[in-house]
Amino acid sequence: MSKTTPKRPPSTRKRMILMLIAALVIFGGVFGTKAMIGAQTNKFFDNMPQPAVAVSTANALAQKWSDDAEAVGTFVAINGADVTTESGGVVRSIEFDAGQPVRAGAVLVRLNAANELATLKSLEASAKLARVQADRWQKLGKDKLVSLDDVQSKITAAATAQAQVDAQHALIDQKTIRAPFSGVLGIRKINLGQYIAPGAAIVSLQQLDPIYLDFSLPEQRIDQMVEGTMVRATVDAIPGVVFDGRVTAVEPLVDPNTRNFKAQATVQNPDGKLRPGSFAHVGFALSGERDVVVIPQTAVSFNPYGNAVFVIGKVKRKEGETDMQGKPLTGDKLTVTQRFIKTGATRGDLVAVIEGLKAGEQVVTSGLLKLRNDAEVTINNKVQPTADAAPQAANR
């Protein structure tokens, strides 16, 4: 009977090699399939048509602009002062109403002048006596009964006495305080029976019509600002009203600290609406009108390396071009091209384009962040950014 040799089990080394080969085949198939799917996906997205971007647009317009400038200013009374007294005294009567207009020379306050009037009577009597004596001695001098020196002495004494009378009259006049010019009074600062010292303020007096408007400009404009330039002033307290004036003085000195110079305009103020000390926005034209191309400021991408706009253009579609659903597209399509421009002055929501754009060209005014060169767009102008040369804030 023959003996059979028992089969020896495969070695551990062979089993490991077989398992490694099987794992490589399985994982290779998985990664290969994934790579193939990824490549097909990328190919699909690379060739997929991009959806058109909805934007709003505006046409570049040709307008005539003057070189306008703006500044801030302050209204100043042509004549304005605190009425005071040259001579001290006790207030005997107050003959004005606070806040009322007065004419030049109108009596405002009378001070007690009883002592001064009594002194005046004494001086007038002395002056009368001196005058009589001077006349008598002049007659005696003609008859050679007295010396000419004595006559001259009496004449001098009479003149001195009269001068004292005149000085007393002036002192009494100082006890009556009058309006130095026509204007509107403020709030009184004194009371009846109060003693006021020389120089003490009694009441404010301001001449309101016309009124000065003082404002400052940078020294670069000192040759452009000349007398006679028309200005437009607006006041926050009176919205919607523009006050016209004319430059009547230009300060020749430039402030070395601010490098600005001052100008002064005269504004008519018959209704007294403008008050000294009020803040004003000042606008004026420094030269004649010139032709400019203007667009809304929202159409401009302001960048450190240059300002740019997206200009709308038409291009023919490629044959067989389809949309995202695979439907064929026909007709021209709208695309945008980024173009660098040089901007100039601004006015409200508008900006002037000096170079890079012609009147009539269409630019994108909203949706700029979604655009790139040659991107397809659709125009929707139902909602437009504001583009007003003189925008007004809404009163809410």
- The H helix count followed by the E strand count for the chain is 3, 20
Provide CB contacts within 8 A for 20, sequence distance 6+.
none
**Per mean pLDDT, which range of 172-186, 266-280, 328-342 is the poorest?**
328-342
Tokens, residue 46: 């690379």
Average pLDDT (336-342) is 92
- Pairing label, strands 333-347, 350-355: antiparallel
Which residues of the chain are in CATH 1.10.287 domains? 113-174
CA distance 141 to 364: 109
pLDDT value, residue 195: 92
Structural contact between residues 309 and 364, judged by C-beta atoms closer than 8 angstroms: yes
What's the pLDDT score for residue 357?
A: 92
Q: What is the pLDDT of residues 252-296, one digit of tens each?
A: 899 899 899 999 999 998 888 899 999 999 988 776 677 889 999
How many residues are listed for the chain in this entry?
396
Higher pLDDT, 306 or 224: 306
HEC profile for 48-98? CCCCCEEEEEEECEEEEEEEEEEEEEEEEECCEEEECCCCCEEEEEECCCC
* Res. 191: pLDDT tops 50: yes
Domain 53-65+291-379: CATH class, spelled out: mainly beta
Among the ranges given (4-18, 123-137, 224-238, 266-280), the one the predictor scored with the smallest mean pLDDT: 4-18
Any idea which of 4-8, 86-90, 381-385 has the lowest mean pLDDT? Answer: 4-8
- Per-residue confidence band for 361, with pLDDT thresholds at 50, 70 and 90: very high
* pLDDT at 86 (0 to 100): 87
Bridging pattern class, strands 211-218 and 61-77: antiparallel
Burial class of residue 107, CB neighbours in 10 A (0-12, 13-18, 19+): middle
Residue 375 has pLDDT above 90, yes or no: no
Q: What is the band of 332 on the pLDDT scale with cuts at 50, 70, 90?
A: confident
Weakest mean pLDDT among 14-23, 56-65, 337-346: 14-23
CATH 2.40.420.20 occupies which residues in the chain? Answer: 53-65+291-379
Query: Mapping DSSP to helix (H, G, I), strand (E, B) and coil, where does residue 394 land?
Result: coil
What tokens appear for 30 in the block? 């998985």
Confidence of residue 175 (pLDDT cuts 50, 70, 90): confident
Residue-wise DSSP of 256-277: TTT-EEEEEEEE--TT--S-TT
DSSP classification of residue 246? E
Q: What is the CATH number of domain 113-174?
A: 1.10.287
Q: Which residue, 139, 143, 89, 138, is CA-closest to 116?
A: 89
* d(C-alpha 157, C-alpha 385), whole Å: 91
